[in-house]
Amino acid sequence: WQRSYGTLAFKILKNTRSMGDMGVCFGANLYRREVDYLCEHEWAHTAEDILWRRTKLGYQFSDREVESLSNYLSQSRDAA
């Protein structure tokens, strides 16, 4: 995460002691904690926004993984 976020990685990883603290892995090492950060601080709203504009992980995600991420984002918006 250091390469992608620089010093902001410390903010994203705050209070993280193990990979389990990162939450669910949606694919290609994209974890819930990073997704939540992108939604809260970078105003990312869709899987496409996260995968293509914010992280460039779109090529590495299967259709099933994109669907899982989309479902999570939809549920998160509904809960807010």
Give the span between the Cα atoms of 1 and 76, in whole angstroms: 23
Between CA 20 and CA 57 the distance in angstroms is 21
Per residue in 11-65, pLDDT (tens digit) is: 999 999 999 999 999 999 999 999 999 999 999 999 999 999 999 999 999 999 9
| pLDDT tens digits, one per residue of 61-80 | 999 999 999 999 999 888 76
Say whether pTM exceeds 0.85: yes
Structural domain that includes position 43: 2-79
| Count of domains observed in the chain | 1
- β-partners of residue 30 are 27
Q: Tokens 């709203």 identify what position?
A: 45
CATH number, domain with residue 22? 1.10.8.870
DSSP H helical ranges for the chain: 2-5, 8-12, 32-41, 47-48, 63-79
